[in-house]
Amino acid sequence: MHYLRALMDLLSYVEEHHLYRSKCINLIASENIASPLVRKLLSTDLGHRYAIGFLYTRIYRGCKYIDLIEALTSYLLRSLFKAEHVNYIPISGTLANLIMINALTKPGDSIIALSVMDGGHSSFRECSLVHGVSMIPLPFDHKSYNIDVDGAERLIRRVKPRIVLLGASDILFPHPVKELSHISREEDCIVAYDAAHVLGLIAGGRFQDPLREGADIVTGSTHKTFFGPQGGIILCRRDYSETIDHSAWQLVNNHHINRVAALAAATCEMQAFGEAYADQVVRNAKKLAEALYNEGVNVLCSDIGFTESHQVIIDVGKGRAAGVSNRLEEANIIVNPTPLPWDRYEGEASGIRLGVQEVTRLGMKEDCMESIAKLIADIILERKNPSEVRCYTEPLADNYQKIHFCFNTDDEAYRYFYLEYLVKELKIQI
Ligand SMILES: Cc1ncc(COP(=O)(O)O)c(C=O)c1O
């Protein structure tokens, strides 16, 4: 019977996780919550199948409906992003970057991109290194919290990298795609933009539009500001399509077709609700930043409007971000520490990054941002006991349990009734 006990433990842990998360306010900037429809598509038979090879010319047989699903997904994504080509094969944003670097560089080449300390993602360097490519950090301007365009121009002209990679993990403002595309073209460099964080805002027309501003290629994750499921994507011009698709199949054998169908549904949700959603996300981020600032929290970029994205970044002092994040977690406010450009190394992080996309999808508006700011300030400035603050977090979270900006809003965001039923059944059996 030990396996039944293990199974019950497992299901109970998952159930407890759901219950716990329903009582939290999640401000992790790289996460979101998927609609009931997207979740249901993830559990279909498609998740048991392979479809190796290109559309309509698969090696494995049995793919006639999979071909139709994927052709539709491709069409939906191309029309949403007005892209000449899309590749939805990568199962994560990191893999999308690796596929792009594998496709467009050869060992010995260089790329330039933001370093982790300046908000870049570790995949910029790691994906380059595994392919024998060096990554040179882009200059960053602390004041505008953005790429230093003059410094970047000098670097591009001197190094002539194969790829100029824009976009970041900590991204408050649109990056200078237009300016740097112009210079990069003169030096024969490819301009790429990692939209992992802002893909949903781009889809909603509420951030920059890198493909229109001159980027040749856009990589990204489909689950941060986009509506999920977890996965990666590459958008590019038609002339890169063959080399990108070839690279994708070199690096991915099994692309999780249930995820592709779920992505197609999420793309329809974006078509229908993306504008209103992205608009509310940016409003909420601005309001959260302003309210935190008014409480006395050190919010970055107060002199330039705090943010134009889903993110707000606060500075809690050298080496303090990990401890403050722990105390916020005890108060059921979930965040992550992040190094800021003036920290000496990652472990000394003084920044905390907040993202409002998930709470926005749960229907929260500006008034809730003021409440959340007060709870955060109670922890950071008032140094209140986290369990005391939790008494206010939980009822606030409890009022926002339905997923918005989707076709079916009946299901509860964090509740799986089937799981509860199974646990009850197992308890009887043991
Ligand atoms: C800019 C950027 N690129 C790539 C990634 C990797 O995405 P994934 O977690 O989907 O692999 C991240 C993750 O947060 C990111 O911030």
Torsion from C-alpha of 68, 70, 72, 74, nearest 10 degrees: -150
What predicted TM-score, i.e. pTM, was given to this entire model? 0.96
Task: Tell me the β-bridge partners of 426.
Answer: none
- Does ligand 1 come within 6 angstroms of the Cβ of 123? yes
Cα(238)–Cα(83) distance, rounded to whole angstroms? 9
Separation between Cα atoms, residue 150 and residue 140, nearest integer Å? 10
Largest CA distance in the chain: 72
Report the alpha-carbon distance of residue 414 to residue 21 in Å, rounded: 7
Q: Name the residue of 121, 165, 199, 252 whose CB sits within 8 Å of the most ligand 1 atoms, as the mutation to test its pocket.
A: 121
Q: Is the CB of 30 under 6 A from ligand 1?
A: yes
Residue 427: count of CB within 10 angstroms of its CB:
12
Instruction: Kindly state the helix (H) or strand (E) to which residue 193 belongs, with its residue range.
Output: strand 190-194
State in Å: Cα 233 to ligand 1 middle.
Answer: 11
Nearest ligand 1 atom, CA 230: 10
**Across the chain, how many H-helices and E-strands are there?**
16, 16
Ligand 1 atom with minimal separation from the 223 CA: 10
What architecture (CATH level 2) is domain 39-268?
3-Layer(aba) Sandwich (3.40)
Return the CA Rg of the chain.
Answer: 22
Strand order from edge to edge, sheet including 336-338: 311-315, 351-355, 336-338
Q: Is the pLDDT of residue 409 over 90?
A: no
- pLDDT (mean) for 80-97: 98
- How does DSSP assign 216-233, residue by residue? SEEEEESSSSS---S-EE
pLDDT at 427: 78
Atom 7 (ligand 1): residue with closest C-alpha?
93
Q: Can you name the residues that pair with 219 across neighbouring β-strands?
A: 194, 234
412, 33 Cβ separation under 8 angstroms: no
Phi, psi (5° rounding) for residue 342?
Answer: -90, 0
Query: Which residues, listed in sequence order, are joined to residue 135 by a DSSP beta bridge?
Result: 111
Provide the pLDDT for residue 363: 97
| CB of 232 sitting under 6 A from ligand 1 | yes
Give residue 356's Cα distance to chain centre.
12
- Residue 125 pLDDT > 80: yes
* Residues listed for the chain: 430
Atom of ligand 1 nearest to the CA of 222: 10
* Closest by Cα among 193, 258, 267 to 227: 267
Q: Is residue 254 scored above 90 in pLDDT? A: yes
Residue 426 confidence (pLDDT): 77
399 Cβ partners below 8 Å, 6+ apart?
A: none
- Can you tell me whether residue 329 is helix, strand or coil? helix
Contacts of 385 (CB under 8 A, 6+ apart): none
121 lines ligand 1 (CB under 6 A): yes
The token pair at 207 is 């951030």
**Atom number of ligand 1 nearest to Cα 169:** 16
Q: Which of 104, 97, 74 is nearest to 87 (CA)?
A: 74
412: which DSSP letter?
B
Element (H, E) at 203: helix 199-203
pLDDT of 421: 77
Ligand 1 atom 16: residue of nearest CA: 169
Pocket test for ligand 1, best of 123, 172, 233, 311 (most atoms within 8 A of CB): 123
Question: Within 105-140, where are the H helices?
Answer: 122-130
**What integer pLDDT is reported at residue 164 of this predicted model?**
98
pLDDT band with cut points at 50, 70 and 90 for residue 1: low
Q: Ligand 1, residue 92: give the atom nearest the CA.
A: 10
- For tokens 């112009």, what's the residue? 182
According to the model, what pLDDT value does residue 352 have? 98
The confidence band for 347, taking pLDDT boundaries of 50, 70 and 90, is confident
Which of these, 95, 133, 125, lies nearest to 248 by C-alpha position? 95
Q: Return the pLDDT at 274.
A: 98
> Does the C-beta of 170 come closer than 6 Å to ligand 1?
no
pLDDT-derived band of residue 359, with 50, 70 and 90 as boundaries? Answer: very high
Q: Among 5-19, 24-38, 149-163, 374-388, which stretch is predicted with the lowest mean pLDDT?
A: 5-19
pLDDT(224) > 70: yes
pLDDT band (50, 70, 90) for residue 370: very high
* pLDDT tens column, 35-68: 999 999 999 999 999 999 999 999 999 999 999 9
Q: What pLDDT, on the 0 to 100 scale, is given for residue 430?
A: 74
